[in-house]
Amino acid sequence: MAPVRIAEARVIVCSPDRNFVTLKLTTDDGTVGWGDGTLNGRELAVASYLTDHLSPLLVGREAGRIEDTWQYLYRGAYWRGGPVGMTALGAVDTALWDIKAKRAGVPLYELLGGRSRDGIRVYGHATGATIPDTVADTRRLMEAGFSAIRIQTDTPGTQGAYGVSVPGQVYDPSAGGHLPQETVWHTPSYLRHTPTLFEAVREELGWELDLLHDVHHRLSPREAAQLGRSVERFNPFWLEDPTPAEDQTAYRYIRAQTTAPLATGEVLNSIWGVQTLITERLVDYVRATVVHAGGVTHLRRIFDLAHLYGVRTGSHGATDLSPVSLAAALHLDLAIPNFGIQEYMAHTALTDRVFPHGYRFADGYLHPADEPGLGVHLDEDLAAHHPYERAYLPVARLRDGTVHDW
């Protein structure tokens, strides 16, 4: 196949119910590749990184040289890594894989080694202000076909617990406004309350369902060990992000104290950030993503390292990851040997209209589109009707006002 060059790089920032940053690369033979560059609450920094710093380097480059472009933009930057840089690099890498697969005339997973399974098992999100509400929401998802469900509930004694949606709305913790919302966190209440949620769900819905829970980085290693021990008997599928993710060594202590399976990595963006976790087998699932961890090229590298140590994947898939990176995740999930599970929260109807896509959900599984490339597009005219709106993730404080991990 004759090589093609990148003719144009354009960044589209839109807000169809929430903000998304999308990179559109067009080659001189007219092939279009899409990449997601959304970093929740810091979207415009990635847009600028792409427009001001990467796009001028991309125009004129050979589109097929994905690895070389990755190394050029990573090692060649000197100031490398970090969430903004790795998200921007992720957008470029994803768009180049989309182009390569479109030019080859195959869905992306064919270039990654072909299918290793029939579909991508996903987990859904059950939430509620009370435990009975969360049980009812869990039942609703079971009836919709999910066999794995993340359970989160409001904790009495805190204000604005993580993971609880406004009834009837898609869960999205970011909120528009001049300043972030502030929530009040109280660890003792949470440690008392959470095991009662697991107990109620098991009592009402039985033991077939896989139950997940996201601690969202709020505990110390000792507190995390206590939580792990108190829910072990309910057979959790995983406890996610028990402690702040950047401290890999905290997991040595947690691991030694509890057999509850552990998952982390949604906020980590490079193989160096998960190296100790993987090589010391401190977690069971690695949750890094295409969008925040440098694209398909780098995430594949992380997943291959994980495979060597028996760690499986469980990529982040909240609604702040656009349909472009969800599509890319599905192709990678389908191809790798050590796939575990994929997080899935449906986007709003408007987001789905702005990003027409061919992936589909059936019986608890997602299936990527069979068309060439990623199988997702951006309707630029519709996107233009929904411009960027300033929004932030919340900030958490303790009862005495001290800033805590949200």
Which residues, other chains included, contact 254 with Cβ-Cβ below 8 Å and sequence gap of 6+?
221, 224, 225, 228, 242, 243, 262, 282
**Out of 93, 98, 137, 266, the residue judged to bind ligand EZ4 by CB under 6 A:** 266
CB 236, CB 260: distance < 8 Å: yes
Residue 284 binds ligand EZ4 (CB under 6 A): no
CB 265, CB 274: distance < 8 Å: yes
**Binding span for ligand EZ4 by CB under 6 A among 47-55, 110-118, 314-322, 370-378:** 314-322
Q: How far is CA 345 from the centre of its chain?
A: 10
Binding mask 124-163 for ligand EZ4 (x = CB under 6 A): ----------------------------------------
Helix (H) or strand (E) holding 71: helix 66-74
Got the DSSP string for 107-164? BHHHHTT--SSSSEEEEEEEEESSHHHHHHHHHHHHHTT-SEEEEEE--TTSBS-TT-
Residue 36 binds ligand EZ4 (CB under 6 A): no
Q: Please state the closest distance from residue 114 (CB atom) to ligand EZ4, in A.
A: 29
Residue 214 binds ligand EZ4 (CB under 6 A): yes
Q: How many CB atoms lie within 10 A of CB 31?
A: 20
Q: What six digits make up the tokens of 247?
A: 């401290």
Q: How many CB atoms lie within 10 A of CB 120?
A: 24
**Out of 26, 27, 40, 243, the residue judged to bind ligand EZ4 by CB under 6 A:** 40
Q: Which is nearer to ligand EZ4, 18 or 100 (CB)?
A: 18
Q: Please state the closest distance from residue 123 (CB atom) to Co ion, in A.
A: 11
What are the strands of the beta sheet with 182-185, ordered from one edge?
182-185, 395-398, 403-404
**Out of 89, 318, 326, 354, the residue judged to bind ligand EZ4 by CB under 6 A:** 318
Task: Decide which of ligand EZ4, Co ion, none touches 128; Cβ closer than 5 to 8 Å per partner kind.
Answer: none
**Out of 16, 33, 128, 173, the residue judged to bind ligand EZ4 by CB under 6 A:** 173
Task: Decide which of Co ion, ligand EZ4, none touches 377; Cβ closer than 5 to 8 Å per partner kind.
Answer: none
Helices and strands counted in the chain (H then E): 14, 18
**Binding span for ligand EZ4 by CB under 6 A among 187-195, 250-258, 288-296, 312-320:** 312-320
For the chain, the helix, strand and coil percentages under 3-state DSSP, each to the nearest 5: 40, 20, 40
Q: Please state the closest distance from residue 222 (CB atom) to ligand EZ4, in A.
A: 22
**Binding span for Co ion by CB under 5 A among 123-131, 251-259, 263-271, 384-392:** 263-271
Catalytic machinery residues = 162, 216
Extended beta strands in 215-372, E state: 238-240, 262-264, 285-286, 312-313, 342-343, 360-362, 365-367
Q: Please state the closest distance from residue 358 (CB atom) to Co ion, in A.
A: 27
Q: Please state the closest distance from residue 288 (CB atom) to ligand EZ4, in A.
A: 12
**Out of 93, 214, 320, 333, the residue judged to bind Co ion by CB under 5 A:** 214
Q: Please state the closest distance from residue 285 (CB atom) to Co ion, in A.
A: 11
**Binding span for ligand EZ4 by CB under 6 A among 15-23, 52-60, 257-265, 315-323:** 315-323
Which residue(s) pair with 5 in the sheet? 62
Q: Decide: helix, strand or coil at residue 48.
A: helix
In the complex, the residues that contact ligand EZ4 under the rule CB under 6 A are: 40, 173, 214, 216, 266, 316, 318, 320, 343, 393
